[in-house]
Copies of this chain bind each other. A is one copy, B any other.
Amino acid sequence: MLKEERHQTILSEVELHNRILLTDIAETLDVSIDTIRRDVKELDADNKLRKVHGGAISLGFTTNSTRNNNIYKLEEKSRIAGKAVALLKNGSVIFIDGGTTCLELARSIPLNLDLTCFTHSIPVAMELLNKPNVTVILVGGQVSKESQIAFGANAIHNLSEIKVDYSFIGTGYVDSHYGLTEFDWDIVQVKKAVIKCSKKTVLLSISEKLNSQHRYKTCDINAINTMITELDPEDDLLNSFKNHDIRIL
């Protein structure tokens, strides 16, 4: 059995169960515990997992419980993230917006996926640093205290100089007639710039936000190529979006 094969097996086991015991793996793969120990040590050095006494744990399993438990409607958001991840291919160049739903997407990116990922969100950037195969590029600018994303002239200018395959964005409010709207004018400006710099725009939104609107408009609903909610695409709640040219997942 090749070393590389073992590494793959170990990684997928870790991803699947969040943790493994060295003794278990050694028995499963029928090699000595020393070999497994060395394998895991290497994988740790490569930041693919975290080695602990007696075994290893997944990097994602850093149950930063404070955040995980405080996210509103986490269940729905991670469903959305799951669907979004399916759009990604090796080599994709993407942009990820701020907000808890997009953060969940960042968290869900598989460890073996090769990506170049732009973001103006500090928490998203933080999360992406845990992904060994993701190149992270930060869009700079003044940082908003509430939303923890860079905004303002500088951020918008930086965005004007890039073009990404997909951008994954969140929104404060969305309505099939009024489009995407926000409470904050500055945020609207950056979102516009994000949409402009992407070949395809994917909106991530929990169904609770559907049919709501606010003061400032980001874009028409037609500017969105794909919309992802936690609902089944055939759900009646999505009917009003179906006569637009949007893919619904």
Number of this chain's copies in the complex: 2
Q: CB within 8 Å of B: which of A32-79?
A: 47, 50, 52-55, 57, 61, 63-67, 69
Chain B residues closer than 8 Å to A114, beta-carbon distance: none
Q: CB within 8 Å of B: which of A1-32?
A: 2-5, 8, 11-12, 15-16, 19, 21
Q: Are A140 and B142 in contact (CB under 8 A)?
A: no
Which chain B residue shows the least CB distance to A14? B65
Known A12-B69, A19-B4, A53-B2; contact A129-B145, beta-carbon cutoff 8 A: yes
Q: Is A135 an interface residue (CB 8 A)?
A: yes
Q: Is A81 an interface residue (CB 8 A)?
A: no
How far apart are the CA atoms of A118 and B86 in the complex, in Å?
A: 36
Q: CB within 8 Å of B: which of A82-129?
A: 120, 122-123, 125-126, 128-129
In the assembled complex, the CB of A102 is this many whole angstroms from the nearest CB of chain B, namely: 16
Chain B residues closer than 8 Å to A57, beta-carbon distance: 2, 4-5
How far apart are the CA atoms of A137 and B150 in the complex, in Å?
A: 8
Q: Is A148 an interface residue (CB 8 A)?
A: yes
Chain B residues closer than 8 Å to A140, beta-carbon distance: 120, 137-141, 150, 155, 158
Q: Is A172 an interface residue (CB 8 A)?
A: no
